[in-house]
Structure 1
């Protein structure tokens, strides 16, 4: 085997990995019926997380415009507070205060 053969194998490997990556991105963006939903239809978002210790974490989860505070530990998750109304964004806060946006 010479250098040209190794270059061909390497180029083929890069091509296959590129095609796999492109298929993964297309699946995330458009979704595959029965396997994955596109990002635009997701209702659940992680707003913020805070590490309390190496094994404990607080997380604010938003679902349908309502936030929930969870404590996540290795033994499970506990709801600390449910039904939190999210604060207004800076644009909405500026409009309420009478400032131009």
Structure 2
């Protein structure tokens, strides 16, 4: 038998037994409530900072558009939006891991 056929057989056999493994729901350890509170505060602070940064970028757009330099802040605007997505994704990931 070739190596690829052996590998395919091993993966097929492992896939059949994977359905037999238990899949328990995630449960937060005792005392995790304090950590969840800190994470929710961090999310709130991060989103407020992102909103303030978006307002600051809008003001920079406004002032620099009069001088013909308005397009230079597009990178900053995109970076802030990516930061907002990371904050949202991190919160969802922590919520999934903690079972909330």
The structure where helix makes up a greater share of residues is 2
More strand by share: 1
Structure exhibiting the larger radius of gyration computed from Cα positions: 2
